[in-house]
Amino acid sequence: MARPGAACPPPARRVMVAARALLFWALVYSYCGLCACIAGLRLLWSIGRRPGETFRWVVRENPPACLNDPSLGTHCYVRIKDSGLRFHYVAAGERGKPLMLLLHGFPEFWYSWRHQLREFKSEYRVVALDLRGYGETDAPSHKENYKLDCLITDIKDILESLGYNKCVLIGHDWGGMIAWLVAICYPEMVTKLIVINFPHPSVFTEYILRHPSQLIKSGYYFFFQMPWFPEFMFTVNDFKVLKSLFTSQATGIGRKGCRLTAEDIEAYLYVFSQPGALTGPINHYRNIFSCLPLQHHEVIMPTLLLWGERDVFMEVEMAEITRIYVKNHFRLTILSEASHWLQQDQPDIVNKLIWTFLKEETTRKRE
C-alpha cells in the first residue's frame, strides 16, 4: 500500500513491473514442464527396462534400531496452541542449559543431526526437530499451510513452547532457508546463527535468475510445483531416487566422507516410505515462488556459514556473496572434499568448527 501523499509509479514503470512478473512466472512454469518431461522420460525408460521393479514400493513396518538409540536423546512432542499442530523432536542434554535448535533439510528428518545431538549435549539442550509435514510431526493437507511465514512462525512458537526466548539456531539446506528467515524476522530470538550449505535467501533468488547453471541445479524446485507426480517419482524402484541422493557418486557423500550405513539408509526409507510421507516435505517447495524475494534482508547476529564445495545442488559462489547481508561477525568455511550433506559427511570437522565459533563469540562478548 502506498504511503499517503506518495506519488504513484508512472505507467511505464507499472508496465515494466508487470512484464517482469509475467516473464518470471512464464519461466517458472516452462521450466516446471521441462523437468516434468525429463522425469517422464526416465519413468518410461525404467518401465521399459524393469517393469516389475519400477512400481515396487515397500512400506517399512518397523523402525531400525538406530532411530531409538538412547545416546541420541529422548523422543518428545509439543503441540503448538495457535496452529494446533503437534511437532516431534529429539532432545539431548539437560533441561535449563542454553538451547541449540537444529533444522533439517530435504529429504531428511531429525536423524540427520545424530552426530550433533551426541556432540553438543554436554553444554546445550540440543533439540533436533521434525519440520512441519516431516516424520512424526503433523502434516496439514493443503499446500497453503506450508508457506514460509507459517514455517517461520513454527520455529518461534516451538521456541516459546520449550520454555526458551532465545537459542543457537542451526539449519541445513531447506532448514537453512528457514533459519535465515527466522534470524531476519525474529533477531531477538537468535543469539548465534549457523547455516550449512544454503546462502542468504536474497542471494539465492538473485543468483538463480542470473546464472543458468544454478537454475538447472535447482530444477527440482520447479519440478516440485506439480501435484502428486514428484511424490510418485520418489517411490519408483522402491525409492531408488532417495537412496541415490545419499549414496551415488554424483550427489552422495564423497569418498573421504562418513558414508551412511545400511541402517542409516533404512532409517530414511522407514520415514519416507509411509503412505503420504512425501507430500508434506514437497509442499514446502510449492509455495516458494510466491514468498520470495524478501522485503527485509539484514542479519544482525554473529553468523557462521559452512559449505561443502562438492555440493551439486548449490554453487559455492553464493557462499561468499552472503557476506554482504550479515551486519555482524561473519565466518565462512568451505570444505573442499565435502558434499551437500555436510554435517553427516564430515561430522567431526563440522562439530569442531561449530565449537570454535561458539567459543570464539563467547570470548569476544566477555572482552
Answer whether residue 279 is part of any domain: no
Answer whether residue 354 is part of any domain: yes
Tell me what the mean pLDDT of segment 116-121 comes to: 98
CA dihedral 184, 218, 173, 206 (to 10 degrees): -20
Neighbours of 296 (CB within 10 A): 9
Is residue 285 annotated as a catalytic residue, yes or no?
A: yes
Question: Cα–Cα distance between 146 and 129 in angstroms, integer?
Answer: 16
Question: Cα–Cα distance between 299 and 301 in angstroms, integer?
Answer: 6
Query: pLDDT digits over 178-205, tens only?
Result: 999 999 999 999 999 999 999 999 999 8
Residue given cell 556459514 in the structure block: 305
Residue 54 banded pLDDT, cuts 50, 70, 90 = confident
Answer whether residue 202 is part of any domain: yes
Question: Cα–Cα distance between 233 and 236 in angstroms, integer?
Answer: 5
In the chain, % of residues over pLDDT 90 = 73
CATH number of the domain that residue 308 is part of:
3.40.50.1820
- Split into its structural domains, the chain has a count of 1
Is residue 173 annotated as a catalytic residue, yes or no?
A: yes
Residue among 134, 268, 270, 285 flagged as catalytic: 285
Question: Cα–Cα distance between 346 and 325 in angstroms, integer?
Answer: 27
Residue among 31, 172, 340, 345 flagged as catalytic: 340
Give me the chain's average pLDDT, please.
Answer: 90
Residue 278 banded pLDDT, cuts 50, 70, 90 = very high
Is the pLDDT at 129 greater than 50? The verdict is yes
Residue 17 banded pLDDT, cuts 50, 70, 90 = low
Is residue 164 annotated as a catalytic residue, yes or no?
A: no
Question: Cα–Cα distance between 229 and 296 in angstroms, integer?
Answer: 34
Answer whether residue 254 is part of any domain: no
**Cβ proximity of 191 and 301 under 8 Å:** yes
Answer whether residue 328 is part of any domain: yes
Query: pLDDT digits over 284-336, tens only?
Result: 999 887 766 666 689 999 999 999 999 999 999 999 999 999 999 999 999 99
Answer whether residue 117 is part of any domain: yes
pTM for this one? 0.89
Question: Cα–Cα distance between 58 and 56 in angstroms, integer?
Answer: 7
Residue among 130, 173, 311, 345 flagged as catalytic: 173
- At residue 28, the pLDDT reads 65
Answer whether residue 136 is part of any domain: yes
Q: Which domain holds residue 170?
A: 65-207+286-359
Answer whether residue 268 is part of any domain: no
